[in-house]
Structure 1
Amino acid sequence: MEPLKTVFARVDASVTIGSGHVTRLLALAEEIKSRGALVEFICREYQGNLLDLIEKAGFTVHALPAVAVWDSQEDANLTHAIIKKRGGGDWLLVDRYGIDAKWDRLLRPVVKNILVVDDLANVKRDCDVLLNQNYLPGIEVEYRDLLPQGAKLLLGPQYALLGAEFAKVRNMPVTPQSEGIKRILVSFGGGDNSNALLLALKALKLLSLNNIDVDIVAGQSEQRADEIKELADSLGANLYGSVDNMATLTARADLVIGALGVSTWERMCLGVISIIVTVASVQDRVAHALGKDELAIYLGRLEDVSPAMLADAVNDIITNNSVFYPLREKGVRLVDGFGAKRVAGALG
């Protein structure tokens, strides 16, 4: 396989889409860049886009205008024009819902290979490699009729695209601590998840958190920012917007309350227990699988979980912490932090 030279990444972030798609492709781009290839991003200018973050990481970003109504054909044409103008590419990395095989085929003339990052296994794709980093045992059979013959599958959390800092923090010497929950992290991703944050904070208010510190990462949750701040202050919690030290914050925690996403694999990599409350239907299947196999504690959909239910789950972990140690051990074994290296290696 020829070495990578030029790679394009088509991905979006917004207050509704969240930040996870960009986060994972950025992790892969960093690894590809370290191997000597040029990586350029193509992203829509939605509210809550992460163009500045991508540029800060040292990558060129080609901005597409935000659209109220998604048009796959128009998006493919614009993406095609950018890549053609740049002289074509060795690989196109695609991580976005709403794209299918028709979109992929329109890009074939300007790229040699296509990698699709997928979570759902619900549409046909015309790609050379498909990555689904989720914990879904047996999902390979669902791709049989969705991909071209010969397409390579990279399946499971061993391919989880995490930033290099997570493997680094994971391998740092750990200062021995007394058993028990001493720090709780609340984080529901980089989008606007105000309602989920408020659920978690109301749950924590029901508990006596003596000698337990609380960190809250609000991301772009602006709709009910005043309520979030008021509850955070009443808990004596540390409230952050967006952070650039998520690996350190996660590693300091003994328990994380959050949604299903890239951060799920980050927590497993660092051996931190997760309580998952899903905030979108696309998260439910993986969260259920993790709960069933005792890799995390899955409480259900946001609209089905009350503050009292979440408080009971947190209290159970605080009072019976040793019972939940196997969750940490299983997670650490499943996710080692080198998924981006494995995926980059599969590309050339």
Structure 2
Amino acid sequence: MVTTPRTALFRADASATLGIGHVMRCLTLAAELNRRGWRCRFACDAETLRTVPALRSAPVELIELAAARDPAALAALAPPQWLVVDHYGLDQAYERALAAWAEHILVLDDLADRPHHCDILLDQTIGASADRYLGLVPHWAVVLAGAGHALLRPDFAEAGPSRVVPLDRILVSLGGTDPTNATGLALQALAAVGLGLPVSVVMGGAAPHLEAVRDLASRLTPQAEVLVDVADMAALMARCGLAVGAAGTSALERCRMGLPSVAVVIADNQRDIAKGLEREGAALVSALDIAALARSLSLLAGDERARSRMAGRARSLCDGRGAARLADLMSLDLRRAGPEDGEVLLAWRNDPVTRANSLETAEVERDHHFAWLDRVLADRERILMIGEYGGERIGMVRFDTCRDKEWRVSVSVAPEARGKGAGQALLTMAVSTLLRQVGPVDLIAEIREANPASRKIFVACGFVQADRADEILYFRRNSR
């Protein structure tokens, strides 16, 4: 049987002034979706195609837009399952215009300075919380906030255990385009400090100051290497013991690798990331001038214990699996349960592990189960959803009305899907679906104290423990 692949259309731009970060993190997500069999398309302007050569070699279909900010330019294309918007110049007006065209909308943002119309919003800023977007997204939107959701390339997710690399090489990476030539200032600072260590400089091929940087690099002792459009940054970072880097997405890559860093802000949208790095002790933030950079480099280079502490704190901020978890959410299908699900639901309910974690631990008789299912399916005050990946059922979520504007929720994951993150994805998307259908309501859940796995899932989905009695924990999530 031939199945039609899922589709995602990415809307992101790049230029010497915008940088390439928006496009690169979209490419990271596209690579993860492509690995799962999705068809991915990129819609961008002509300058983006010139600025990001990686687009030409990526497994994506490229669409050049003449009227880049006109939603009608996209609406003329075949509609995707997911529209992914990563653009500071676009907001809810653009997204609303495409809401009936795309099945779902994902927004990538880190400014929280304008409203969005979306199903999922991801903000990978260090220390960011979902509360940052209160009033800026629909009540049903899933907000994924914090460095744990960072979209990092697979080579970072697969990085080995944390270790402190000897200080025998320094990395300088200050953005793919670096329009202000921060790289040149960093090289002058390194010359002033005189550490005498090999230096690897990374830039994009479209960087306007590339030749000037090459000239400065040739004057360092030893001469620094200038690498253009590096494909495997994780391997390069693994060779370095110290870095000078921008406080953008690359800062999260350095955190994942446990690479001690001097971080600088080279764009306004990096200020919150820089504050988070400093607050968490994951980098030493410096002003962007030669003297300040020289002082910071000298300080870190001369303190091995400080570098070791910084490496550990940085590494703890993200595990590199943000793209995989986001793809899990996007790939999940939810539907109302039907009579045809009866046998599977009975098998899940009577599974020994499920029974041990249920409030009612006795095995359910077949006739009792099917009578219960008939009542649930006929009751408008109950909603039973089935989650599927590629047509395979992976669990169910049940919502029961308790009182006005309050619903009780319970989750059951198929035995074969346990330990794979299915429960969190299932609950996350089911809650969003319910809120979209019935409006803002409060949710409550009852969980056995001896069931830490379920407790972890609910906490990750925004539920807070409200009470405890007789070894039962009562959790609540307010949506009004």
TM-score bucket of the superposed structures, by smaller chain: 0.7 to 0.9
Distance (whole Å) between structure 2 residues aligned to residue 262 and residue 4 of structure 1: 29
Post-superposition CA distance 1:247-290 (Å, at most 9, x none)? 21112111111111111111111110121111111211220222
Which residue pairs with 2:296 in the alignment?
313
Output the TM-score relative to the length of structure 1: 0.88
Secondary structure class of the residue paired with 2:32: helix
Distance (whole Å) between structure 1 residues aligned to residue 176 and residue 53 of structure 2: 14
Output the TM-score relative to the length of structure 2: 0.64
- The alignment status of 1:13 with 2:14, answered yes or no, reads yes
Q: Contact 1:15–1:220 (CA<8 Å) still a contact in 2?
A: no
Distance (whole Å) between structure 2 residues aligned to residue 97 and residue 78 of structure 1: 18
Distance (whole Å) between structure 2 residues aligned to residue 257 and residue 248 of structure 1: 17
Secondary structure class of the residue paired with 2:193: coil
Post-superposition CA distance 1:59-87 (Å, at most 9, x none)? 1111113x7xxx74x2x1112222xxx2x
Structure 2, unmatched stretches of 5+, are: 333-480
Which residue pairs with 1:46 in the alignment?
47
- CA shift at 1:194, angstroms? 4.8
Write the mapping of 1:323-342 to structure 2, written as runs, cut at 5 A. Answer: 323-342=306-325
Which has the larger displacement, 53-62 or 218-227? Answer: 218-227
For the pair shown, the structure with the greater C-alpha radius of gyration is 2
* Residue among 151, 171, 193 paired with 2:160: 171
Amino acid of the structure 2 residue aligned with 1:299: S
Amino acid of the structure 1 residue aligned with 2:74: T
- The 1:328–1:164 alpha-carbon spacing in structure 2 relative to 1, beyond 3 Å, is same
Secondary structure class of the residue paired with 2:244: strand
* Residue among 290, 301, 305 paired with 2:277: 290
Amino acid of the structure 2 residue aligned with 1:336: D
Which residue pairs with 1:158 in the alignment?
148
Post-superposition CA distance 1:180-239 (Å, at most 9, x none)? x211100111123352011101100112223x2100112246544443222101111011
- The 1:152–1:339 alpha-carbon spacing in structure 2 relative to 1, beyond 3 Å, is same
- CA shift at 1:29, angstroms? 0.8
- The 1:4–1:127 alpha-carbon spacing in structure 2 relative to 1, beyond 3 Å, is farther
* Residue among 70, 78, 81 paired with 2:73: 78
Secondary structure class of the residue paired with 2:177: coil
- The 1:127–1:166 alpha-carbon spacing in structure 2 relative to 1, beyond 3 Å, is same
- The 1:102–1:4 alpha-carbon spacing in structure 2 relative to 1, beyond 3 Å, is farther
Which residue pairs with 1:234 in the alignment?
219
Percent identity (aligned): 33
Distance (whole Å) between structure 1 residues aligned to residue 208 and residue 231 of structure 2: 22
* Residue among 107, 111, 116 paired with 2:102: 111
- The alignment status of 1:93 with 2:61, answered yes or no, reads no
- The 1:28–1:222 alpha-carbon spacing in structure 2 relative to 1, beyond 3 Å, is closer
Distance (whole Å) between structure 2 residues aligned to residue 224 and residue 51 of structure 1: 16
- The 1:89–1:223 alpha-carbon spacing in structure 2 relative to 1, beyond 3 Å, is closer
Q: Contact 1:194–1:228 (CA<8 Å) still a contact in 2?
A: no
Distance (whole Å) between structure 1 residues aligned to residue 317 and residue 294 of structure 2: 28
Which residue pairs with 1:258 in the alignment?
245
Q: Contact 1:218–1:241 (CA<8 Å) still a contact in 2?
A: yes
Amino acid of the structure 1 residue aligned with 2:227: Y
Distance (whole Å) between structure 2 residues aligned to residue 107 and residue 163 of structure 1: 29
Q: Contact 2:127–2:147 (CA<8 Å) still a contact in 1?
A: no
- The 1:110–1:48 alpha-carbon spacing in structure 2 relative to 1, beyond 3 Å, is closer
Secondary structure class of the residue paired with 2:136: coil
Distance (whole Å) between structure 2 residues aligned to residue 198 and residue 331 of structure 1: 26
* Residue among 152, 163, 183 paired with 2:169: 183
Which residue pairs with 1:146 in the alignment?
136
Which residue pairs with 2:26 in the alignment?
25
Q: Contact 2:13–2:48 (CA<8 Å) still a contact in 1?
A: no
Distance (whole Å) between structure 2 residues aligned to residue 222 and residue 40 of structure 1: 25
Distance (whole Å) between structure 2 residues aligned to residue 289 and residue 241 of structure 1: 29
